[in-house]
């Protein structure tokens, strides 16, 4: 079911580090701009995209920036008493499959264009090697920066690098964007 596929967006160091002390361990304004652009833009102007994130990533977003604007925010938590404030643009879900199921069912299926899984480490561990992952948009940070949260090394044999940007440097950190797309599908 094409509705149940998703794309991953993540920024990682050479060691696959993505976070430190519940925050991003770097300040890369153009990366945040890229993230906003890719997760917000739709091919159908009457629809919006969904972003799926772990509860700790939700907690890491400054109050004034959440929910992430113009996107349906889906927050994953195993706790039924999850304290994510409910608002029109936020739903909570108990697992990745149930989130994908929800988005593929009415009324969401009519309103939602693309689905992005945006972190953090716990969620990406499952999502990046999941059979529904159709693309990974990776900000490859060309540095070793101290992290306490990591993503798995992905089985890249099913992916191909599809496009890559020229390197950028911000705050003395060199990085570039690479998109990997799935070329081998093995879905039921
Ligand atoms: P996550 O953001 O992955 O959230 C973990 C929480 O999500 C768990 O405590 C649980 O919530 C819930 N959860 C996890 N697995 C599942 C599941 N299968 N089903 C339902 N709920 C689930 O936490 P991490 O600590 O791994 O990542 C956060 C770090 O990552 C931060 O430092 C953040 O800044 C960074 N980050 C970096 C990104 C990047 O691109 N560089 C992107 C996003 C985040 P509960 O406890 O409520 O049950």
Residue 10 lies in a domain: yes
Q: Report the pLDDT value the prediction gives residue 83, as an integer from 0 to 100.
A: 62
Q: Report the pLDDT value the prediction gives residue 156, as an integer from 0 to 100.
A: 77
ipTM confidence: 0.99
Substitution candidate for ligand 1 out of 6, 102, 121 with most atoms within 8 A of CB: 121
Number of helices (H), then strands (E), belonging to the chain: the values are: 5, 11
Residue 73 lies in a domain: yes
As averages over each run of 10 residues, the pLDDT of the chain (188 residues) reads: 82 97 98 98 96 97 95 93 73 95 94 97 95 96 97 86 93 97 77
Residue 134 lies in a domain: yes
Own/partner long-range contacts of 168-172 (Cβ < 8 Å, ≥24 apart): 168/30, 170/27, 170/28, 170/29, 170/30, 170/31, 171/26, 171/27, 171/28
Ligand 1 site, CB within 6 A: 10-11, 18-19, 22-24, 53-57, 60, 76-79, 82, 94-96, 118-123, 126, 149
Distance CA(52)–CA(57), nearest Å, equals 10
Q: Report the pLDDT value the prediction gives residue 82, as an integer from 0 to 100.
A: 58
Residue 53 lies in a domain: yes
Q: Are 17 and 140 in contact (CB under 8 A)?
A: no
Residue 188 lies in a domain: no
Q: Are 22 and 56 in contact (CB under 8 A)?
A: yes
Q: What share of the chain is helix, strand, coil (3-state, %, to 5)?
A: 25, 35, 40
Atom 13 of ligand 1, nearest CA residue: 77
Residue 102 lies in a domain: yes
Distance CA(34)–CA(49), nearest Å, equals 15
Substitution candidate for ligand 1 out of 97, 123, 130 with most atoms within 8 A of CB: 123
Distance CA(11)–CA(29), nearest Å, equals 12
* CATH code, domain carrying 174: 3.40.430.10
Substitution candidate for ligand 1 out of 119, 126, 147, 173 with most atoms within 8 A of CB: 119
What domain range is 140 assigned to? 2-182
Of 65, 51, 151, residue with least CA distance to 103: 51
Residue 187 lies in a domain: no
Q: Report the pLDDT value the prediction gives residue 147, as an integer from 0 to 100.
A: 98
User: Could you give the number of structural domains in the chain?
Assistant: 1
Q: Report the pLDDT value the prediction gives residue 2, as an integer from 0 to 100.
A: 44
Distance CA(19)–CA(37), nearest Å, equals 21
Of 96, 101, 116, residue with least CA distance to 55: 96
Q: Are 131 and 187 in contact (CB under 8 A)?
A: yes
């Amino acid at each position: 079911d094409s509705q149940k596929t998703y794309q991953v967006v993540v920024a990682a160091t050479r060691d696959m580090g993505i976070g430190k002390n519940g925050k991003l361990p770097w300040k890369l304004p153009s990366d945040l701009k890229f993230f906003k652009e890719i997760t917000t833009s739709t091919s159908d102007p009457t629809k919006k995209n969904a972003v799926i994130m772990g509860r700790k990533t939700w907690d890491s977003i400054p109050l004034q920036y959440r929910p992430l604007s113009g996107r349906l925010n889906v927050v994953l938590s195993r706790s039924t008493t999850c304290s994510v404030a409910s608002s029109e643009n936020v739903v909570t879900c108990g697992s990745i499959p149930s989130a994908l199921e929800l988005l593929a069912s009415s009324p969401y299926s009519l309103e939602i264009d693309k689905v992005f899984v945006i972190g953090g480490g716990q969620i990406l561990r499952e999502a990046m090697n999941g059979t529904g992952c159709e693309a990974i948009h990776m900000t490859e940070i060309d540095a070793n920066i101290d992290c306490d949260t990591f993503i798995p090394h992905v089985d890249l044999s099913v992916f191909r690098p599809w496009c890559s940007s020229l390197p950028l440097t911000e705050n003395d950190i060199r990085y570039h964007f690479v998109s990997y797309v799935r070329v081998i599908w093995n879905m039921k």
